[in-house]
Amino acid sequence: MQGKPLTNVSALQTHPTRLSPDEVLQHVAATYRLPVDAILNRSHRDTYQTAVYLLRRAANEPLQTVAMRFRISPSRISNIQKAIERAPRSPQQTQLFATSRADPIFSPILRNMVYRSKKRQPSLVMPMGSTGTIPHIHPMSSGSNDLVNR
């Protein structure tokens, strides 16, 4: 976005609060007390998987980029993300997820909310020429012919 006019772009979009990939790696390295190289060469499983998750969720790094960075397949990246969202967290993961705002506890919940919102909700179709009032069955009625407009 450098050099382009920002007339209709919100301030939050011009200065995102998202961590950069390098910041994520530095943060993970500091939390686990390891050098960044130890994360990238996958010598510490929990550490590299946490870094993979945070690069995807906190830094929003593309799947292909994370796969190339760690020299693993994109499907392996997806499997790591699913595993982290399902498994109990280590104390280091708890700390990192809280500080990076990428808590996996909320991810499945958000996915379910989006899924539910996309489901078709039953709707009342009004007949042509309707006055806009919704017909209801009167609570004291005995049959379907006793419609009352509310």
Q: Residues of 107-146 as b/e, b for ≥16 C-beta within 10 angstroms?
A: beeeeeeeeeeeeeeeeeeeeeeeeeeeeeeeeeeeeeee
C-alpha atoms less than 13 angstroms from C-alpha of 133 in its C-beta half-sphere: 8
Mean per-residue pLDDT over the chain, rounded: 74
Q: Give the chain's end-to-end CA distance (angstroms, integer).
A: 54
**Phi and psi of 116, rounded to 5°?**
-65, -35
> What are 1-11's pLDDT values in tens digits?
566 776 776 66
Sign of CA dihedral 28, 33, 39, 45: negative
Mark 5-21 as b/e (b = at least 16 C-beta within 10 Å): eeeeeeeeeeeeeebeb
What is the model's pLDDT at position 100?
Answer: 78
Q: Are 62 and 72 in contact (CB under 8 A)?
A: no
Supply 102's token pair: 């990428």
pTM assigned to the model: 0.61
Residue 114, both tokens: 């989006």
- Average pLDDT rounded to a whole number, residues 13-39: 87
Find the mean pLDDT for residues 46-67. Answer: 94
pLDDT of residue 7: 74
CA distance 9 to 50: 32
Q: Can you give the pLDDT at residue 65?
A: 96
pLDDT digits (tens, 9 = 90+) for 100-128: 766 555 444 444 443 444 444 444 444 44
- Go through the domains of the chain in sequence order and give each one's CATH number: 16-104 (1.10.1750.10)
